[in-house]
Structure formats: C-alpha cells, structure tokens
Amino acid sequence: MYRKILVPVDLSHLDKMPKALNTAIDMAKHYGATLCYVTVTNSTPGAAAHNPEELADRMHEFAEEQGNAHGIKTEAEVLSSVDTAVELDDKLLEAIKNTGADLVVMASHAPGLGDKLHLLRSNGSEIVKHTDISVFVVR
C-alpha cells in the first residue's frame, strides 16, 4: 500500500517524538516501505548542527542507524530555508514531491514546547490541505 513514508524530524528534539518515530517504523515494516527522514534548516548555526553540511551528515547517520536497528530501508533529506518558521510547510510539501513519498507520518506539537520547535508544532493541517497523499499526525 505504501512504498515511501516521509518523516519530518528535528534531530535536536528526538526525545520529544518517539511515538511518531515508532509509528513510522512500524508502518515501514508492515508495508515494506522506505522511511525518508527529512528536516528543514536555516543556513545559520542551530541546536542540531553548526551548518547545513554537518546537519546533512547527522541526518544520514541517523537514517542509517535507524535502518540497521530496525531492519528497514531508510533515506535522509535536508532542505535549506532562509526562514524555517515561514517556509516550513512549503519545504515539507517540496520534500513530498521530490522524494515521491506516498505517506507522511509526523509528530504533532510537543507538550510544553509550543511553537518554538518548528518541526514539532502542528503543521499537519497545512500539509493535509496542500498534498494529495495521506498524512498521519501522531500525538
């Protein structure tokens, strides 16, 4: 049913999204799908990395670790943005098209963190409105 599952992640806050990550892993195992972890970053230093190249290395390492640990196929994508707060939804929609994903599994807003974490706030409704693939928002 699903061949490629896109999973937006924030490497600096993985501890806040275990349910979404585990849901995506379970679905990938069930359907034999590839998980494509994606993040959107500014070109300036952030909590997860000093620059986009370092973040790309960390994302590929994370994807490989997840694939090896769970026996699934994985990929990683890092998209650069001038302002992630403004461009996040558009960048995630771009990632859906570029990767050929047919499902998105994403974490909803993390309790207590509010909108500080751009990938963890509830972007699900905007993604649902502007894509023709299924979106599974995990609370």
Residue 50's pLDDT is what? Answer: 61
**57-80: per-residue pLDDT in tens?**
999 999 999 999 999 999 999 998
Q: What is the band of 109 on the pLDDT scale with cuts at 50, 70, 90?
A: low
DSSP 33: P
Residue 125's pLDDT is what? Answer: 77
Look at 49 and 130; give whichever has higher pLDDT.
Answer: 130
Contact 84, 42 (CB under 8 A): yes
Residue 98's pLDDT is what? Answer: 96
Alpha carbons 64 and 84: distance in angstroms, whole number: 25
Residue 63's pLDDT is what? Answer: 98
Q: pLDDT > 70: what percent of the chain?
A: 83
Domains detected in the chain: 4-138 (3.40.50.620)
Residue 61's pLDDT is what? Answer: 97
What order do you get walking across the sheet with 134-138 strand by strand? 73-81, 34-42, 4-8, 103-107, 134-138
How high does pLDDT run on average in the chain? 87
Q: What is the band of 26 on the pLDDT scale with cuts at 50, 70, 90?
A: very high
Residue 70's pLDDT is what? Answer: 99
Token pair of 127, please?
């993604």
